[in-house]
Each structure stands twice: as structure tokens, then as C-alpha cells.
Amino acid sequence: MKIFIDTAELTEIKEAYSWGIVDGVTTNPSLIKKAVDARDEIHLEEYIEEILRTVDGPVSLEVIGLRAEEMIEEGVFLYERFNPVNDNVVVKIPINTRTKDGQSKKYDGLKAIKKLSSAGIPVNTTLIMKPEQALLAAKAGAAYVSPFAGRIDDYIRSNVGLVRGEDYDKGAHHDPSLMDEAIVLAKRPFEDGLFGETLEEIYSDERLKDLRSSARDEGIRSGAEAVRSIKNIFDNYDFDTEVLAASMRNSRQVREVAEAGAEVATLPFTVIEEMLGHYKTEKGILAFSEDVVPEYKGIFEG
């Protein structure tokens, strides 16, 4: 699996790239704002150019327009302006948009993907929240689709009343098996015949249906499961589109999307660091260091 780093912070990109494990970069307006706000003075175009030169792999730059014609124009501009720097620009297009006046533009994302990809500009379709969206993006010609695994997890947890920051931290792993266990416990009244006594009554009970569906998003139990579903669909029909797992919150989630077969995962710097750490590894290296005998140390000192 390829690893992209999800940041516009140049120091993080350079540091992670020096480890030999970074294959690309994903940015978005929020990440660029965070990087820019951390500096008193910055020439943004030169800053983006330096990011492109740092990594010998795809770098996603996102449009800001919300209508098809705007996204197409901006996508062409980003590609023509920055791709000559290192021939590695990918244009990020949202799967659908909504204007500030609340008007939905559901199809504009697809129109932009089709137009840009037909012109030879690689597109990373962002804000994918369900497999059906990924299928349409692939049909339109996207080079990558980015399912937001962490946000999918957040949405599922919110469906059952959990609040991020109160009931769980942003980096906490979502375990759908625990959710299923909670549903089993919540179903105990069935044993007392409160919701029906026959299998048919239980199966058709609307309260039970609501209970089941609340722990899923259209049948999807987690962000990692959404990634697996998308990968299965693409394999079924031999799409060239790569699954780029995004909105990754912790190292266990990275492992799950790798097991699901995602071609790429884009990771915040902190998640990459978390992947490296383990208590027993740190304890073991301390023990090894303490056990070095003078004679063995002398080998390296000549």
C-alpha cells in the first residue's frame, strides 16, 4: 500500500519523506490555511512549488469552486501552473457540492471529473462517504477516490447519540463489533416478549429496524468497511481508479484499510508516528542497549 502524507506543512512533509515511506501528498484548503497561518510571511505559489519538488509522487491540490465550470477552470489552472514543476499534480474535486445559498449541485462534481480526466488531468475525488459515490466517480474517470473513513465512523457514532469530544476522542478507534454488542444488549426486552413473541414479529418490528440501522450508514458499519466495499466493486469491474483511504484517525484504522486492499492511505503526520510506536519495542531496545558488553562495543570503535 502506498502512503501519502495528509498535510501542507512543509517541515512534516520533508521529515516523513526522509524516512523513505512517503509516496505522495494530499492537501486541501483547510490544511493550506493551517500551514499559512503558522507563518508571518509566505509566498503561497512558491510554497506549493517547494512541496511539489520535495516529493517524487502525486501531490493533490484542491479546487475551491462549487460549480462545474468553476471547478474545471480552476483544475486546468492548477495543473497548467504547477504540474511543470515536477510533473506530479493531481487535482482534487468533490463528488458533489452545495453553494453557500444552500443550493445543491449534486452533478457538478461528476461533470468536472469527466471534463478534467478527459483532458488528461488526473483527478482525486474527495469527500466520498459511500461506495455508490465512489462507483460514479470511477465511471466519470477519476484516478483516485478518497473515502473519508474517519468521518464515516464519526457519522455512524453520531447516529446512536455519541458526541465526539464528549463520548470519544477524535483519534479513538471505532469498533463496529462493540456497536453490535450494544444492540444485542438493547434487544434484551425481546426476551421478555415486549416487542413480539414470534420471529416474524421481531423481524418486522420498526423499533428493531431503527436500532439496527442507527449503527450503520446505509448498511456500512465503519469507514474501513466502506473502503473494503469500494475495493470489491472496483475489482469486480476492473476499474483503474485507485482507492485512497482518507480521514485516517489512528494506526489500527490504517491496518484495516490495508487489509481491505486500499491502494493508498493518506495519513496525518501524527498517525504515521503512531504506526511506529509500541511499548514492548521501546522496552526491548532499552534492554538490548543495557546488555551491550564492552567487547561488543569495541568492535564498532575499532
Whether residue 92 lies in the annotated active site = yes
How far lies 74's CA from each of 66, 223, 280, in Å? 11, 30, 49
Choose, from 34, 92, 139, 170, the residue flagged as catalytic: 92
Q: What is the 3-state secondary structure (H, E, C) of the chain?
A: CEEEEECCCHHHHHHHHHCCCCCEEECCHHHHHHHHHCCCCCCHHHHHHHHHHHCCCCEEEECCCCCHHHHHHHHHHHHHHHHHHHCCEEEEEECCEECCCCCEECCHHHHHHHHHHHCCCCEEEEEECCHHHHHHHHHHCCCEEEEEHHHHHHHHHHHCCCCECCCECCCCCCCHHHHHHHHHHHCHHHHCCCCCCCHHHHHHCHHHHHHHHHCCECCECCHHHHHHHHHHHHHHHCCCCEEEEECCCCHHHHHHHHHCCCCEEEECHHHHHHHHCCHHHHHHHHHHHHCCCHHHHHHHHC
Q: What is the set of active-site residues?
A: 92
